[in-house]
């Protein structure tokens, strides 16, 4: 057994990892140039911008909000809903949806649309596919005050201020990207013979783990550094709930940003949440065709969910997790949880929009049992478990070094992800270490479907992660994301 890694105590620990990227012009790009890559630089929100934490256990409250939003997200990913309303019912703008008001623990990029360009902030999300922005001067966002961030100024896109913005018509093929080919039945005034159909594509309604959004599909220029992509399809959302920003869908659906741009691959490096005030930067790289080889990456193939009736599952990046090792011991996980089965249940997805990794209870309990066995000398801090919504939490007070069992994920093809301890344990006040993986108490039956494991962004920090779309595989390596 390899010696367990050592978690060194740090004096202060921030769990805020909202990042804002600054666009940096990549050298001489044009759409005709093969070998173009676009690099977007990421920068963290530093601790100076954050409200000070006074209450001793406020950290637990922050962790709790991340745990809750990760869980809500997992529930949604397992039972996705894409609601569409007919344009007539949508004009009332009063749609009731379940709400929860949790902080997002996400990563954002800024993107510019229109002529002249308007820049908005988007959550980078590989678990959904539509790109949408808060839109129009009448944009309504309910429950959009995020307690730990302070009032955020939501940047909205103003279509009228762009000379190139267009609403998507009902018979526009782009409308079908989101609504499928049957949408034409919703365009009665747009029969195959009507010459000038003015009916627009129906209103979209999308529900996320926390919150929702709705609006109309538009097309406009997407302005990337030194390059303009015309007629980019995106959502002009006029109402949302619990959304700190718009969302940049990087999922596998045909409306996603990678699909519309025909990216061969994209990659990101997610910053560590341990921020000092130096301007560390991370990056999101869009590869339009350089076919540049990345070195030293471990690869595992993407899989598809065999359940084709559940179209939403086809948006997810499934990967073949084969083994979970805790302190060198293989955790016993029944095969049916590791591979998506006939009803679409099971399997592992990688998701930048989930904060803490989710595991269904049978997998999670087996992992916890193994940690408990190996951490037997530490007592569980039950009160912190209740406050943070995380477990197990171990009382490690009085120790300068804490030996934690190594957590290793083994993937199909032999790719091995040996996580650094700070990617799976959070330390509170030098006293309590909590496992940053969430589960629920609901025993999920096979019928509800969806992934068993969602690999979240907290676990991907300081990894270079490549979505190699051309070759259908995920690559990763440890890297300091500066
Ligand atoms: C949208 O609504 C129409 C009619 O109500 C339905 O046939 C279609 O399947 C729906 N599309 C989606 C994606 O839910
Ligand atoms: C085409 O559009 C014009 C202006 O909107 C309208 O006056 C005309 O009746 C339409 N023609 C048909 C065939 O719908
Ligand atoms: C737990 O404590 C016992 C007795 O103090 C010691 O022998 C053992 O090595 C400890 N185990 C770990 C994993 O620290
Ligand atoms: C951890 O253990 C120490 C010493 O046993 C105790 O004083 C402290 O209250 C415990 N902390 C928590 C959060 O349980």
Determine the pLDDT at residue 411. Answer: 97
Both 99 and 114 in a single domain? yes
Contact 75, 100 (CB under 8 A): no
* Percent of the chain's residues with pLDDT above 90: 38
Placement of tokens 């690869």 in the chain: 299
Q: How far apart are CA 479 and CA 482, in angstroms?
A: 9
Sheet with 379-380: list strands edge to edge: 379-380, 393-395, 432-435, 425-428
Q: Which helix (H) or strand (E) holds 112?
A: strand 108-113
Any ligand 4 atom below 6 A from CB of 372: no
> pLDDT grade, residue 325 (50/70/90)?
very high
Both 273 and 409 in a single domain? no
Q: Which residue's CA lies nearest to atom 14 of ligand 4? A: 381
Number of C-beta neighbours around residue 8 at 10 A: 11
Put residue 36 in one of left, alpha, beta given phi > 0 → left and psi -120 to 50 → alpha: beta
Q: Is residue 189 part of a domain?
A: no
Which residue, of 287, 303, 326, is where some domain finishes? 287
Q: How far apart are CA 74 and CA 354, in angstroms?
A: 8
Q: Is residue 92 part of a domain?
A: yes
Any ligand 4 atom below 6 A from CB of 481: no
- CATH of residue 391's domain is 2.40.70.10
Q: How far apart are CA 71 and CA 210, in angstroms?
A: 9
Checking if the pLDDT of 179 tops 90, the result is no
Rg (CA), the chain: 22
Handedness of CA 456, 457, 458, 461 (dihedral sign): positive
Determine the pLDDT at residue 80. Answer: 63
Checking if the pLDDT of 299 tops 90, the result is yes
Any ligand 4 atom below 6 A from CB of 381: yes
Question: What integer is the mean pLDDT of 340-357?
Answer: 86
Both 350 and 299 in a single domain? yes
Exposure class string for 104-129: b at 16+ Cβ within 10 A, else e:
bbbbbbbbbbbeeebebbbbbbbbbb
Both 118 and 171 in a single domain? yes
Residue scoring higher pLDDT (60 or 459): 459
| Residue (of 262, 256, 261, 281) closest to 271 by Cα position | 281
Q: How far apart are CA 108 and CA 245, in angstroms?
A: 8
Q: Is residue 22 part of a domain?
A: no
Contact 349, 337 (CB under 8 A): no
Q: How far apart are CA 70 and CA 357, in angstroms?
A: 7
DSSP-H helix ranges across 253-317: 257-261
Q: Is residue 413 part of a domain?
A: yes
Count, residues in the chain: 482
Both 143 and 162 in a single domain? yes
Q: Which residue's CA lies nearest to atom 7 of ligand 4? A: 397
Report CA(381)–ligand 4 centroid distance (Å).
Answer: 8
Report CA(4)–ligand 1 centroid distance (Å).
Answer: 52
Give 482's contacts (C-beta < 8 A, 6+ positions apart): 280, 281, 282
> pLDDT grade, residue 170 (50/70/90)?
confident
Q: Is 274 exposed, middle or buried (0-12, 13-18, 19+ CB in 10 A)?
A: middle
Both 111 and 226 in a single domain? yes
Both 270 and 406 in a single domain? no
Pair of tokens at residue 482: 């500066």
Contact 141, 243 (CB under 8 A): yes
Checking if the pLDDT of 285 tops 80, the result is yes
Both 57 and 166 in a single domain? no
Residue scoring higher pLDDT (119 or 448): 119
Q: Is 85 exposed, middle or buried (0-12, 13-18, 19+ CB in 10 A)?
A: middle
Q: Which residue's CA lies nearest to atom 8 of ligand 4? A: 397
Domain that holds residue 428: 28-80+292-478
Q: How far apart are CA 172 and CA 180, in angstroms?
A: 11
Q: Which helix (H) or strand (E) holds 240?
A: strand 227-241
Both 54 and 145 in a single domain? no
- Tell me which residues are annotated as active site: 125, 351
Q: Is residue 307 part of a domain?
A: yes
Q: Is residue 399 part of a domain?
A: yes
| Residue (of 85, 81, 114, 311) closest to 200 by Cα position | 85
Both 227 and 332 in a single domain? no
Any ligand 1 atom below 6 A from CB of 81: no
DSSP-H helix ranges across 339-410: 361-374, 382-388
Q: How far apart are CA 122 and CA 133, in angstroms?
A: 7
Residue scoring higher pLDDT (22 or 406): 406
CA 156 to chain centre: 21
Pair of tokens at residue 349: 């997805």
Q: Is residue 3 part of a domain?
A: no
Q: Is 158 exposed, middle or buried (0-12, 13-18, 19+ CB in 10 A)?
A: middle
Which residue, of 287, 308, 343, is where some domain finishes? 287
Q: How far apart are CA 242 and CA 140, in angstroms?
A: 11
Question: What integer is the mean pLDDT of 260-286?
Answer: 69
Report CA(313)–ligand 2 centroid distance (Å).
Answer: 41
Phi, psi dihedral angles at 251 (to 5 degrees): -70, -170
Pair of tokens at residue 235: 């959502």
pTM of the model: 0.80
> pLDDT grade, residue 155 (50/70/90)?
confident
Pair of tokens at residue 399: 């120790």
SS3 28: coil
SS3 88: helix
Determine the pLDDT at residue 284. Answer: 82
Q: Is residue 376 part of a domain?
A: yes
Determine the pLDDT at residue 358. Answer: 94
Q: How far apart are CA 462 and CA 17, in angstroms?
A: 12
DSSP classification of residue 135: B
The DSSP string of 161-205 is G-TT-EEPBTTSHHHHHHH-GGGGGG-GGG-TT-SS--PBPPEEE
Phi, psi dihedral angles at 364 (to 5 degrees): -60, -45
Domains: count for the chain:
2
Query: CB under 6 Å to ligand 2: residues?
Result: 195-196
Both 328 and 269 in a single domain? no
| Residue (of 388, 374, 392, 393) closest to 432 by Cα position | 393
Any ligand 4 atom below 6 A from CB of 431: yes
CA 162 to chain centre: 29
SS3 content of the chain, % helix, strand, coil (to 5): 20, 35, 45
Determine the pLDDT at residue 165. Answer: 95
Both 212 and 307 in a single domain? no
Report CA(367)–ligand 1 centroid distance (Å).
Answer: 40
Q: What tens digit of pLDDT does each residue of 25-65 get?
A: 222 222 223 346 665 544 332 222 333 333 344 667 667 77
Which residue, of 260, 287, 314, is where some domain finishes? 287
């Amino acid at each position: 057994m390899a010696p367990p890694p050592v978690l060194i105590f740090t004096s202060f620990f921030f769990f805020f990892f909202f990042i804002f990227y600054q666009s940096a012009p990549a050298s001489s790009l044009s759409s005709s140039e093969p070998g173009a890559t676009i690099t977007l630089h990421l920068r963290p929100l530093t601790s100076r911008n954050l409200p000070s934490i006074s209450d001793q256990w406020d950290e637990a409250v922050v962790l709790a909000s991340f745990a809750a939003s990760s869980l809500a997200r997992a529930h949604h990913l397992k039972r996705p809903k894409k609601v569409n309303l007919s344009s007539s019912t949508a004009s009332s703008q009063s749609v009731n949806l379940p709400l929860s008001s949790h902080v997002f623990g996400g990563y954002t990029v800024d993107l510019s649309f229109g002529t002249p360009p308007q820049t908005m902030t988007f959550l980078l999300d590989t678990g959904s596919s539509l790109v949408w922005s808060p839109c129009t001067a009448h944009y309504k966002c309910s429950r959009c005050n995020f307690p730990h961030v302070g009032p955020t100024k939501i940047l909205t896109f103003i279509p009228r201020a762009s000379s190139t913005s267009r609403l998507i018509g009902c018979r526009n093929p782009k409308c079908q990207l989101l609504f499928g080919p049957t949408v034409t039945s919703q365009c009665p005034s747009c029969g195959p013979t009507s010459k000038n159909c003015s009916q627009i594509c129906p209103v979209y309604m999308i529900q996320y783990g926390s919150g929702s959004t709705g609006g109309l599909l538009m097309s406009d220029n997407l302005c990337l550094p030194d390059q303009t992509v015309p007629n980019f399809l995106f959502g002009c959302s006029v109402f949302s709930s619990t959304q700190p920003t718009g969302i940049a869908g990087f999922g596998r659906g045909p409306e996603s940003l990678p699909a519309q741009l025909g990216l061969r691959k994209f990659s990101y490096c997610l910053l560590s949440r341990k921020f000092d005030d130096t301007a560390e930067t991370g990056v999101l790289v869009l590869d339009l065709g350089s076919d540049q080889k990345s070195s030293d990456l471990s690869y595992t193939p993407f899989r598809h969910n065999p359940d084709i009736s559940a179209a939403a599952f086809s948006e997810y990046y499934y990967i073949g997790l084969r083994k979970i090792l805790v302190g060198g011991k293989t955790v016993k996980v029944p095969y049916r949880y590791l591979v998506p089965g006939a009803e679409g249940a099971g399997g592992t997805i990688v998701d930048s929009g989930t904060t803490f990794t989710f595991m269904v209870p049978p997998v999670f309990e087996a992992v916890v049992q193994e940690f408990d066995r190996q951490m037997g000398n530490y007592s569980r801090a039950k009160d912190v478990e209740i406050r943070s919504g995380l477990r197990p939490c171990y009382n490690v007070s009085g120790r300068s070094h804490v030996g934690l069992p190594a957590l290793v994920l083994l993937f199909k093809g032999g790719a091995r992800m040996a996580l650094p301890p700070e990617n799976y344990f959070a330390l509170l006040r030098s006293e309590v270490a909590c496992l940053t993986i969430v589960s629920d108490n609901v025993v999920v039956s096979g019928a509800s479907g969806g992934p068993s494991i969602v690999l979240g962004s907290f676990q991907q920090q300081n990894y270079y992660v490549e979505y190699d779309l051309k070759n259908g595989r995920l690559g990763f390596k440890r890297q300091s994301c500066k």
